[in-house]
């Protein structure tokens, strides 16, 4: 597993808002070690039995939390992220959608400077099945196992996780990196982590149209990744110049097409699935010993 496990101490920033509190409850129910919520001005209260503090610094001092899941509104996200970094949080999972990209760019620069990690924004979060869930992923769809997943999408990740689970292929960790053009952790960093992780035997990479991250990742995989990789690219039928839901999912100036990404995968020896159930079939074929009876 990577990034999170059963011992990860998690705080929720924006814990008393509608989205924050409902997902805090889900994460607790899944078994995530949620040690605190943070909402300025609500310190001393509780949310679903979890203590709420006024600041991240205070939370870190009192609970030793190392990871923060952020649910604050878009224009407050940069401030919340910088506050977490300043307090020494090591992993930030930024769920919020609709953050102006110049704010994200500032946060990404600060994350690099601190040597911390950022997942997101506009992402479903991270799950190490059976141990820890941070974000909004539906835990019941995932199962523990040896498949590492990296994805730019939310529900498509669930669809593929469902296909894997149905086929008896559990997951080590699934990371939703988010659908924005400017973001924290990307493919390469996570591919390397999965490559080095003893619990992961095969990696599923779920990309989509827009940008050239998949093309860059394909070459990186060829040169650095020793484990089999199965790829999936959404948006073969997407027209150019149109934003397909995600801020980053756009073919512009003829660049960022699904064809180009699929071709890059194939050229670099990555299996490419064309449907979610094909992903499961290809994983099973690549590592037959994983299929449970």
Partner 1 sequence: MDLYEYEAKKIFAEGGITVPPSVRITKPEELAKVHFGFPVTLKVQVLAGGRGKAGGIKFAKDLNEGQELAKTLLKMVVKDSKTESLLVEPKLNIKKELYLAVTLDRERGCAIFIASAEGGIEIETSDTVITMPIPNPYHPYVGRELARKLGFTGNLLVKVADVASKLYKIFEAKDLDLAEVNPLIITEGDEVLALDGKITVNDDALNRQRYFDGWLERHTMDLSERERRSKMIGLNLVELDGNIGILCNGAGLTMATMDMVKKFGGRPGNFLDVGGGSDQEKTLEALEIVNDNPECDVMLLNILGGITACDEVASALVKFIKKYPERKLVVRLRGNNQDVAEKILAESGLKLIPDLEAAVKEAVAQSTSVTKKPVGAKA
Instruction: Give catalytic residues, as residue numbers.
Output: 246
The stretches of 6-136 forming alpha helices (DSSP H) are 18-30, 56-63, 77-86, 101-114
Q: Does 17 bind partner 1 (CB under 8 A)?
A: no
Among 116, 234, 280, 282, binds partner 1 (CB under 8 A): 234
Among 224, 245, 259, 291, binds partner 1 (CB under 8 A): 245
**Smallest distance, partner 1 to C-beta of residue 259, A:** 12
Contact 202, 287 (CB under 8 A): yes
* Minimum CB distance to partner 1 smaller for 146 or for 152: 152
DSSP structure string for 119-173: E-SS--EEEETTTEEEES--GGG--EEEEEEEES-SHHHHHHHHHHHHTT--EEE
Angle at 149 between CA 148 and CA 154, to 5 degrees: 155
* Minimum CB distance to partner 1 smaller for 74 or for 88: 74
Q: Does 205 bind partner 1 (CB under 8 A)?
A: no
Neighbours of 293 (CB within 10 A): 3
Q: Does 13 bind partner 1 (CB under 8 A)?
A: no
**Smallest distance, partner 1 to C-beta of residue 203, A:** 18
Q: Does 21 bind partner 1 (CB under 8 A)?
A: no
Task: Give the CB-side neighbour count of residue 256, counting CA atoms within 13 A.
Answer: 19
Of residues 142 through 201, those in contact with partner 1 by CB under 8 A are 151-159, 162, 179, 181-183
Task: Give the CB-side neighbour count of residue 2, counting CA atoms within 13 A.
Answer: 28
Q: Which residues bind partner 1 (CB under 8 A)?
A: 74-75, 98-102, 104-106, 108-109, 136-138, 141, 151-159, 162, 179, 181-183, 206, 208-209, 211-213, 216, 232, 234-239, 242-249, 253-255, 258, 274-277
């Amino acid at each position: 597993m990577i990034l999170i496990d059963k011992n990860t101490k998690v705080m929720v920033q924006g814990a008393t808002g509608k989205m924050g509190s409902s997902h805090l409850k889900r994460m607790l129910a899944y078994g995530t070690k949620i040690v605190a919520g943070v909402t300025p001005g609500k310190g001393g209260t509780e949310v679903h039995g979890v203590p709420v503090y006024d600041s991240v610094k205070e939370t870190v001092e009192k609970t030793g939390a190392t990871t923060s899941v952020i649910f604050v509104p878009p224009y407050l996200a940069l401030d919340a992220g910088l506050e977490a970094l300043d307090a020494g949080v090591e992993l930030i999972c930024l769920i919020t959608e609709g953050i102006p990209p110049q704010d994200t760019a500032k946060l990404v620069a600060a994350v690099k400077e601190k040597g911390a990690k950022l997942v997101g924004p506009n992402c479903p979060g991270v799950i190490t099945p059976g141990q820890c869930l941070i974000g909004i992923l539906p835990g019941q769809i995932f199962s523990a196992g040896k498949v590492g997943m990296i994805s730019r999408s939310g529900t498509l990740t669930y669809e593929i996780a469902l296909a894997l689970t149905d086929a008896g292929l559990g997951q080590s960790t699934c990371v939703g990196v988010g659908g924005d053009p400017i973001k924290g952790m990307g493919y390469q960093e996570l591919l390397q982590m999965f490559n080095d992780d003893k619990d992961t035997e095969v990696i599923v990479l779920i990309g989509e149209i827009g940008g050239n991250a998949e093309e860059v990742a394909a070459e990186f995989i060829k040169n650095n990744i020793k484990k089999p990789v199965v790829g999936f690219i959404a948006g073969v039928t997407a027209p150019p110049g149109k934003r397909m839901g995600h801020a980053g999912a756009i073919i512009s100036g003829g660049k960022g097409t699904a064809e180009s990404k699929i071709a890059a995968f194939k050229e670099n020896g990555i299996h490419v699935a064309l449907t979610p159930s094909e992903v499961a079939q290809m994983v099973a074929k690549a590592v037959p010993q994983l299929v449970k009876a």
